[in-house]
Structure 1
Amino acid sequence: MIQVLVADDEPMVRKGVRAVLSTAPDLTVVAEAADGHAAVELARLHRPDVAVLDIRMPRVDGLRAAAEIRRTLPTTGIVMLTTFGEDEYILRALGDGAAGFLIKSGEPEELIAGVRAVADGAAYLSPKVAARVIAHLAAGGAGARAERHAAARCRVETLTPRERQVLAFLGAGLTNGQIARRLHLVEGTVKAHVSSILTRLGVDNRAAAAVVAHEAGIVPASRTAE
């Protein structure tokens, strides 16, 4: 079972997240928190596989809670729940090592897929989140968007053809095992490719690499995993 901590200051949102996750037979919510401070304490107590954190919470916000959980429990994956208008927070969370980003108004299936992907060590960007992040990064008009797209394409071109294939699936939220099956490789080879991709792109984590994949326009249209 994948153990999940849910933190949001709105009781109905917490109950809704729990209800969605309870429909998946492999997911179980082990704790709920109403603020970031409680989230950190409960994470230390339960050591969940994944912490689903709202960005804006009282006392300690989701960003600070995520950073503290990552510092003390590096094996716990972080999924951030966001709303429109929080683009700068998403960028900060990317830098702090969060691996999943979901819009609160998104489809329930995305929440389940995102938690599973992060629990498996993958990155997961909701398509709406990816679009918002890219739009925010490209703020300044069509020229800026074109420049960022071109820059991302140039960065991707530094990769080998196989690494570009791996990056595309990484951007779609697939785990190393799923990528290995898609490309008929052993999982260790995919892991090595991912490490090389992060180095070549100059990014610190899979989520940041996924943003580059989206900016470059190489993410497959289908996000379906085996």
Structure 2
Amino acid sequence: MSDDHPMSSLSQQRVVVVADSFPVPRGAVAALLRHSGAADATHEAGTVEAALDALRRADAGMLVTEVDLAGRGDGVHLCREVKRLPRPPRVLMFTGAEDPAVVAACLAGGADGFVHRTATPERLVRAVETLAAGRPVWYLREHCGITELIPRTLRVHGMTEREQEVLGMLLARYSNDEIAAQLHLARQTVKNHVSSVLRKLGVTNRRELLTAQGPSWPRGG
């Protein structure tokens, strides 16, 4: 991500909306960000509608949201909606979901970062500060720890290293020919990798992957 983000004002970057269906974790994250200095002000929301309203009223520079709010996957829908705002905030998905399809949906939905809920408070604060500076942050739980990731270097369970590379390029909307050229592979080899990636994510085609509407959308939380 470029540092030339629409929300370039420090005061706007310091205003954060925290969206979570449960008030206790929502309040805890908001308090953590205020007390650490990562946010000058926070607003809390439990639904997509409340979050959109808070973002508009506060002219906030960042949204921290769960994948599931009032319904399954509506946090990703919220991400898509806020990215259409005239002054879109950065979006950090802070969730207990870890299925590769959820991660792919967050990426395709325009999220700027992803932090698994097993992250330490310090790591969450650091992620918010990093996003505010215009750099993407991707922390996924891997076995017993957290691995720092960026969209083009995903590490997801059950995929080979090559398939992870292909997934990253699919999410960046590369064609098969472009993937083949970038990775120096035969086109048929790329087609085989793409088919394997889509199958492992539980989607049948690129459109399902990029619109986050695959048939096996898992429950987050």
TM over 0.5: yes
For 2:68 and 2:79, locate their aligned partners in 1 and report how far apart those are by CA, in whole Å.
12
Contact 1:8–1:53, Cα closer than 8 Å, also in 2:
yes
Q: CA deviation at 1:17?
A: 0.2
1:87 to 69, 88, 100: 100
Equivalences for residues 102-141 of structure 1 within 5 A: 102-128=115-141, 134-136=155-157, 139=158
- The one-letter amino acid paired with 1:95 is A
2:41 matches 1:29: yes
- The one-letter amino acid paired with 2:117 is K
More helix per residue: 1
Unaligned 5+ segments in structure 2 are 1-10, 169-178, 184-221
2:50 to 38, 47, 50: 38
Contact 2:65–2:93, Cα closer than 8 Å, also in 1:
yes
Contact 1:24–1:112, Cα closer than 8 Å, also in 2:
yes
- State the Cα deviation string for residues 152-194 of structure 1 (Å, max 9, x = none): 8xx8x969xxxxxxxxxxxxxxxxxxxxxxxxxxxxxxxxxxx
For 2:133 and 2:66, locate their aligned partners in 1 and report how far apart those are by CA, in whole Å.
21
For 1:90 and 1:149, locate their aligned partners in 2 and report how far apart those are by CA, in whole Å.
12
- State the Cα deviation string for residues 91-117 of structure 1 (Å, max 9, x = none): 111012101111122111111111112
- The one-letter amino acid paired with 2:163 is R
Other structure's SS at 2:83 match: helix
Contact 1:5–1:51, Cα closer than 8 Å, also in 2:
yes
Unaligned 5+ segments in structure 1 are 160-226
For 2:68 and 2:45, locate their aligned partners in 1 and report how far apart those are by CA, in whole Å.
13
Contact 2:34–2:40, Cα closer than 8 Å, also in 1:
yes
Q: Percent identity?
A: 23
- Equivalences, count: 152
- The one-letter amino acid paired with 1:62 is G
Contact 2:38–2:125, Cα closer than 8 Å, also in 1:
no
2:18 matches 1:6: yes
For 1:98 and 1:74, locate their aligned partners in 2 and report how far apart those are by CA, in whole Å.
15
- The one-letter amino acid paired with 1:79 is L
Q: CA deviation at 1:82?
A: 1.5
Query: Residue 163 of structure 2 aligns with which residue?
Result: 148
- The one-letter amino acid paired with 2:55 is A
Query: Residue 51 of structure 1 aligns with which residue?
Result: 63
* CA 35–148 in structure 1, closer or farther in 2 if over 3 Å, else same: same
* CA 149–74 in structure 1, closer or farther in 2 if over 3 Å, else same: same
- The one-letter amino acid paired with 1:93 is C
Normalised by the size of structure 1, how large is the TM-score? 0.58
Other structure's SS at 2:84 match: helix
Higher relative contact order (CA 8 A, sep 6+): 2
- State the Cα deviation string for residues 27-74 of structure 1 (Å, max 9, x = none): 133310011221112111112111001110115821111110111144
For 2:101 and 2:164, locate their aligned partners in 1 and report how far apart those are by CA, in whole Å.
19
For 2:133 and 2:148, locate their aligned partners in 1 and report how far apart those are by CA, in whole Å.
24
- The one-letter amino acid paired with 1:122 is R
2:84 matches 1:71: yes
Query: Residue 17 of structure 1 aligns with which residue?
Result: 29
What's the Cα RMSD here? 3.1
Other structure's SS at 2:111 match: coil
Contact 1:47–1:73, Cα closer than 8 Å, also in 2:
no
